[in-house]
């Protein structure tokens, strides 16, 4: 499976394991709830999908890299207890609770969540002393005499031996008690994820051109060399940070993340070209609708890779603006729900106190989601923005000495600024979309470049959201033409197939 399919299968497994019958018992008994064993190359997102599943399903997540544990921390420390058997007292060795199991109970206590995922990474790289206990845990869900609580899915991940010399093979007894999912790298799936997460446009457009460089692991005379999905995403984060700080990403810096010199050098050169195209073709002027005729003629005559890069630059900017609009839309929606509650409560409570309670509740929600392992960056940022805005409302009520009778009108006026900001962002972004289409139509006409551009907008999470919510006449026009061409092509194929079948029948006769 690719990582997207694996994520869906694990989510389905969790759903099946947590399903209950009419009497409240689990449909699949705990003894038949096999741990999920996720096997695949390093750096393709095995850990991240666990975080995403926990956030999307609302269950808890406890994650451990098992190689960091000793037998004592995983199983517990021995202590001597006195026991009486047949009237005679004996000293018996017992064990303290496993740190891993204690973390599960601690999360349940803190968050109130009774169900979740226990994720054990690098499961097949455990030390020799710990290996038997981990195999017992996968088979029986126990460390010693301590059992994992019901309602918790064990998910483990490991790397195949070709990627890690320290791995150990599982025996048949263990493999026959787990649900094994083998995961492979898949660039189109990662690209979809990259667009959703806002991975830097240079990374996405480079890998679009050099797909073979997305994931590679090679053993050379100079040692192990590799480029992984994790490396590209981490490099993207650094590039974005460096750009904000006015710093340059050198070839050496790229090589610290993409540890295959040939690819690191190639991408570093491409990054320089990416910035050069940004300056040469003045993408900001294109989006403002003020491009020069020479820009059109130069791009029209450019090599195809250069055309793709410029379209990538344009799409990256459009995605960023669409993302800002979507986030402002989400903030407006969240604030509207908060202010509806505010309006209902201020008749009986002090307005500032109500806003303070709303802020406190969201802070608690944020803390609980973080403790439960459910907090992704976008949810965190949205909640923090909502908290900051509500706190600003409370502060302004105090500073302007607004009376309780006037509080709702005052807050409604401040809230309208957020709605106006959403409208303004939508209008500005819509203009950018229209200008981008006008420029590309003038440059390429109805060519394959326009087909690629429309396809990329459809595939992009933020761009497709924007078009769906704010519209874009040029996009809909070109999309209809593409749909018409696809239909015409399909009909032509069906006619040809029918003719071929008819000819075969004639020959048989």
To 5 degrees, how large is the angle CA 382–CA 386–CA 392? Answer: 145
Average pLDDT, the chain: 87
170: pLDDT strictly greater than 80: no
> Does 486 score more than 60 pLDDT?
no
Closest C-alpha among 317, 306, 304 to residue 273:
306
Q: Rounded distance, CA 249 to CA 242, Å?
A: 7
With CA atoms as reference, report the closest residue to 94 among 155, 20, 146. Answer: 146
Q: Taking Cα atoms as reference points, which of 31, 47, 49, 34 lies closest to residue 179?
A: 34
Query: Mean pLDDT, to the nearest integer, of 192-211?
Result: 91
Average pLDDT over residues 32-57: 88
Mean pLDDT, residues 232-248: 95
* Residue 141: DSSP 8-state: S
- What pLDDT shows up at residue 69? 65
pLDDT, greater one: 500 or 409: 409
User: What is the mean predicted confidence (pLDDT) over 116-125?
Assistant: 86
When comparing pLDDT for 113 and 508, which is higher? 113
The answer to which of 8-12, 163-167, 359-363 has the lowest mean pLDDT is 163-167
Count of CB atoms within 10 A of residue 471's CB? 12
User: Strand pairing partners for 182?
Assistant: 39
pLDDT at residue 70, rounded to an integer: 65
**pLDDT of 499:** 58
CA 113 to chain centre: 23
Name the CA dihedral angle for 219, 222, 227, 231, rounded to a multiple of 10 degrees. Answer: 130
Please give the average per-residue pLDDT across 361-376, as a whole number. Answer: 89
**Measured distance CA(203)–CA(234) in Å, rounded:** 11
Task: Tell me the CA distances in angstroms from 468 to 353, 397, 434, one per residue in order.
Answer: 39, 37, 15
- For residue 87, the model assigns a pLDDT of 85
CA distance 180 to 29: 19
pLDDT digits (tens, 9 = 90+) for 182-193: 999 899 999 989
Q: Is the pLDDT of residue 94 over 80?
A: no
Per-residue DSSP letter, 80:
E
User: pLDDT at position 394, please?
Assistant: 94
C-alpha pair distances (Å), 57 with each of 15, 21, 49, 384, 453: 9, 20, 12, 21, 34
Is residue 100 a contact partner of residue 69, using CB atoms and an 8 Å limit?
yes
Q: How far is CA 195 from CA 46, 366, 381, 463, 471, in A?
A: 18, 25, 18, 9, 20
Q: How does residue 83 score in pLDDT terms, banded at 50, 70 and 90? A: confident
Residue 301, both tokens: 């005559």
Q: Which of 74-78, 301-305, 434-438, 481-485 has the highest mean pLDDT?
A: 434-438
pLDDT category at 42 given cuts 50, 70, 90 is confident
Average of per-residue pLDDT across 254-261:
95
pLDDT of residue 130: 74
Q: Residue 98 above 90 pLDDT?
A: no
Q: Is the pLDDT assigned to residue 244 strictly greater than 60?
A: yes
Least confident of 19-23, 46-50, 173-177, 373-377: 173-177
Q: Is the pLDDT of residue 178 over 70?
A: yes
pLDDT for the residue numbered 71: 66
Decide which of 69 and 134 is more confident. 134
Cβ count near 36 (within 10 Å): 23
Q: Which two tokens stand for residue 94?
A: 């017992």
pLDDT tier, 488 (very low <50, low <70, confident <90, very high otherwise): very low
How deeply is 275 buried, as exposed, middle or buried, from its count of CB atoms within 10 A (0-12, 13-18, 19+)?
middle
Q: What pTM did the predictor assign?
A: 0.80
What is the arithmetic mean of pLDDT over 165-180? Answer: 77
Per-residue pLDDT at 76 exceeds 90: no
Segment 290-308 shows an average pLDDT of: 92
Q: How far apart are CA 59 and CA 357, in angstroms?
A: 25
Taking CA 373 as the corner, what is the angle to CA 387 and CA 195, rounded to the nearest 5 degrees? Answer: 75
Q: Output phi, psi for 42, to 5 deg.
A: -70, 150
pLDDT at residue number 36: 93
Model confidence pLDDT, tens digit, residues 57-68: 999 999 888 776
Structural tokens at position 46 = 């095995």
- The answer to whether 453 and 309 have CB atoms below 8 angstroms apart is no
Q: How confident is the model at residue 391 (pLDDT cuts 50, 70, 90)?
A: very high
| pLDDT for 491 beyond 60 | no
Beta strands in 445-500 (DSSP E): none
- State pLDDT tens for residues 403-444: 988 999 999 999 999 999 999 999 999 999 999 999 999 999
- CA-to-CA dists, residue 347 to 311, 338, 344, 350, 351, angstroms: 55, 15, 7, 8, 9
Q: How much of the chain is in helix, strand and coil states, percent to nearest 5?
A: 65, 10, 25
DSSP symbols for 408-451: HHHHHHHHHHHHHHHHHHHHHHHHHHHHHHHHHHHHHSSSHHHH
pLDDT above 70 as % of the chain = 91
Work out the average pLDDT over 337-356: 92
Cα–Cα distance measured from residue 124 to residue 174, given in angstroms and rounded to the nearest whole number:
12
| pLDDT at residue 129, as a whole number | 72
Helix (H, G, I), strand (E, B) or coil at 28: coil
């Amino acid at each position: 499976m690719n990582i997207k399919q694996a994520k869906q299968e694990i989510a389905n497994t969790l759903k099946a394991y947590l399903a209950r019958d009419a009497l409240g018992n689990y449909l699949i008994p705990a003894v038949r709830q096999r741990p999920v064993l996720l096997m695949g190359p390093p750096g393709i997102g095995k850990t991240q999908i666990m975080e995403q599943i926990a956030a999307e399903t609302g269950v808890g997540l406890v994650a451990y890299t098992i190689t960091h544990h000793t037998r004592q921390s995983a199983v517990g420390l021995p202590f001597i207890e006195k026991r009486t058997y047949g009237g005679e007292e004996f000293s018996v060795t017992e064990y303290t609770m496993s740190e891993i199991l204690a973390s599960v109970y601690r999360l349940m206590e803190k968050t109130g969540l009774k169900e979740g995922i226990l994720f054990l990474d690098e499961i097949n790289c455990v030390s020799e002393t710990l290996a038997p206990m981990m195999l017992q845990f996968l088979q029986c869900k126990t460390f010693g005499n301590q059992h994992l609580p019901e309602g918790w899915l064990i998910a483990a991940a490991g790397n195949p031996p070709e990627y890690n010399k320290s791995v150990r093979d599982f025996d048949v007894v263990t493999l026959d008690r787990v649900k094994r999912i083998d995961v492979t790298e898949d660039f189109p799936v990662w690209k979809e994820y990259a667009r959703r997460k806002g991975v830097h446009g240079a990374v996405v457009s480079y890998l679009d051109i050099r797909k073979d460089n997305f994931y590679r692991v090679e053993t050379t005379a100079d040692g192990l060399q590799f480029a992984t999905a994790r490396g590209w995403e981490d490099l993207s984060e650094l590039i974005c940070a460096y750009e904000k700080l006015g710093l340059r990403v050198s070839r050496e810096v790229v090589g610290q993340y993409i540890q295959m010199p040939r690819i690191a050098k190639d991408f570093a050169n491409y990054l320089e070209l990416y910035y050069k195209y940004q300056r040469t073709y003045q993408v900001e002027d294109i989006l403002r609708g003020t491009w020069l005729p020479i820009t059109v003629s130069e791009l029209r005559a450019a090599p195809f890779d250069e055309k793709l890069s410029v379209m990538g630059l344009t799409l990256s900017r459009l995605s960023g603006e669409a993302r800002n609009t979507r986030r402002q839309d989400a903030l407006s929606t969240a604030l509207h729900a908060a202010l509806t509650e505010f309006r209902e409560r201020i008749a009986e409570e002090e307005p500032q106190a109500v806003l303070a309670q709303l802020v406190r509740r969201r802070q608690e929600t944020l803390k609980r989601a973080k403790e439960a392992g459910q907090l992704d960056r976008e949810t965190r940022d949205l909640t923090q923005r909502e908290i900051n805005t509500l706190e600003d409302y409370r502060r302004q009520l105090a500073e302007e000495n607004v009376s309780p009778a006037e509080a709702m009108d005052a807050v409604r006026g401040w809230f309208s600024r957020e709605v106006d900001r959403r409208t303004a962002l939508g209008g500005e972004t819509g203009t950018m979309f229209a200008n981008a289409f006008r420029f590309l139509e003038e440059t390429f006409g109805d060519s394959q470049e326009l087909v690629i551009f429309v396809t990329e907008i459809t595939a992009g999470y933020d761009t497709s959201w924007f078009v769906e919510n704010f519209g874009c006449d040029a996009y809909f026009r070109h999309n209809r033409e593409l749909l018409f061409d696809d239909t015409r092509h399909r009909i032509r194929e069906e006619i040809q197939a029918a003719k071929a079948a008819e000819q075969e029948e004639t020959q048989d006769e």
